[in-house]
């Protein structure tokens, strides 16, 4: 399968601090990648460089064969703090991108309705962010990215602030959406279990300076059983790599 993302010898320096050094990563279209590692290992920095929010000090990033020089509609970002517009309803938050791209009102409505249904929020279409639970807000954030016609979804610890039950439910829903849309997903997490549960491939990073230390293909069939012997063998292997 063709690479949709190529990260080639990417480094990022903030003043005298080297946040990321020599990152090489090739990602196929439709692949689900998890970046894991301790705080300060450069995983969020790498994500923001791919998104175009940060500029690499050295190296190059290509998405769809084009070098990244800034943000673009082909890449959508989902943050831990949702990033919704509080003055807009669920419908208008999701429709903001399509409307900004110049789609006509009937097309915007059709797009919004499709993705509201996909994330199960049809009953809350006219609600505002302050009226929603954390899980609902994150569903809106995901739908907003999808409605903007992104090919790549970049997720920076999107479920980190949620309770355990909501987190598990959204993990399942994210996998369902990913399977239906063939999106390419790069998902940052601190949790080894979450990475093994979600990913096709887990990319482990380490600090001092931030760098990629291993890439592990996850060949367990979905849905994955977190209590299985194979799952926990992978958990131990990844834990050892991260704590080396």
CATH of the domain at 163: 3.40.50.300
Average pLDDT over residues 6-18: 95
Q: What residues have CB less than 8 Å from 228, skipping those under 6 apart?
A: 220
Q: Look at residue 212 and tell me if it is in a domain.
A: yes
Vertex 48: Cα angle to 45 and 53 (nearest 5): 125
* Measured distance CA(187)–CA(155) in Å, rounded: 5
Structure tokens of 66? 């084009």
163 and 52 in a common domain: yes
* DSSP conformation letters of 126-152: T--GGGS-HHHHHHHHHHHHHHTT-SE
59 φ/ψ sector (left φ>0, alpha ψ -120 to 50, else beta): left
Cβ distance 206 to 242 under 8 Å?
yes
Q: Look at residue 93 and tell me if it is in a domain.
A: yes
26 and 63 in a common domain: yes
Q: What residues have CB less than 8 Å from 236, skipping those under 6 apart?
A: none
Domain residue limits at 108: 85-149
Vertex 119: Cα angle to 116 and 124 (nearest 5): 55
For residue range 146-165, list pLDDT tens digits in order.
Answer: 888 888 999 999 888 788 88
Q: Which of 120, 124, 122, 143 is nearest to 132 (CA)?
A: 124
* Measured distance CA(69)–CA(74) in Å, rounded: 13
Vertex 27: Cα angle to 39 and 37 (nearest 5): 15
For residue range 166-221, list pLDDT tens digits in order.
Answer: 889 889 989 998 998 889 999 999 899 999 999 999 999 999 899 999 999 999 99
Structure tokens of 96? 């903001």
Each residue of 138-160: b (16+ CB within 10 Å) or e?
Answer: bbbbbbbbbbbebbbbbbbbbbe
163 and 64 in a common domain: yes
Q: Residue 1 pLDDT more than 70? A: no
Q: Look at residue 26 and tell me if it is in a domain.
A: yes
236 and 177 in a common domain: yes
231 and 121 in a common domain: no
**β-pair type (3-14, 17-28):** antiparallel
Cβ distance 80 to 157 under 8 Å?
yes
Question: Poorest-confidence range of 4-8, 181-185, 212-216, 240-244?
Answer: 240-244
209 and 121 in a common domain: no
Domain count, the chain: 2
190 and 129 in a common domain: no
Q: Residue 91 pLDDT more than 90? A: yes
For residue range 99-127, list pLDDT tens digits in order.
Answer: 888 888 999 899 899 889 988 899 999 99
Paired residues of 202 in beta bridges: 34, 216
């Amino acid at each position: 399968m063709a690479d949709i993302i190529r990260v080639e010898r990417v480094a990022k320096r903030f003043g005298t601090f080297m946040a990321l050094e020599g990152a090489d990563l090739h990602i196929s279209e439709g692949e689900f990648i998890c970046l894991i590692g301790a705080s300060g290992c450069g995983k969020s920095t790498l994500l923001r460089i791919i998104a175009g929010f940060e500029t690499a000090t050295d190296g190059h990033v290509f998405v769809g064969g084009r070098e990244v020089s800034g943000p673009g509609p082909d890449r959508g970002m989902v943050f831990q703090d949702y990033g919704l517009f509080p003055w807009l309803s669920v419908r208008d938050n999701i429709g903001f991108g399509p409307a900004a791209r110049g789609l006509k009102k009937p097309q915007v409505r059709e797009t919004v309705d499709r993705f509201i249904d996909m994330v199960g929020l049809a009953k809350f279409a006219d609600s505002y962010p302050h009226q929603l639970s954390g899980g609902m807000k994150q569903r809106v954030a995901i739908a907003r990215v999808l409605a903007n016609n992104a090919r790549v979804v970049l997720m920076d610890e999107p479920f980190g602030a949620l309770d355990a039950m909501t987190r598990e439910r959204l993990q399942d829903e994210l996998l369902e959406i990913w399977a239906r849309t063939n999106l390419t997903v790069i998902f940052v997490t601190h949790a080894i279990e979450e990475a093994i549960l979600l990913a096709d491939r887990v990319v482990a990073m380490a600090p001092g300076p931030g760098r990629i230390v291993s890439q592990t293909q996850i060949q367990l069939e979905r849905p994955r059983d977190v209590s299985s012997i194979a799952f926990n063998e992978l958990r131990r292997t990844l834990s050892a790599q991260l704590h080396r």
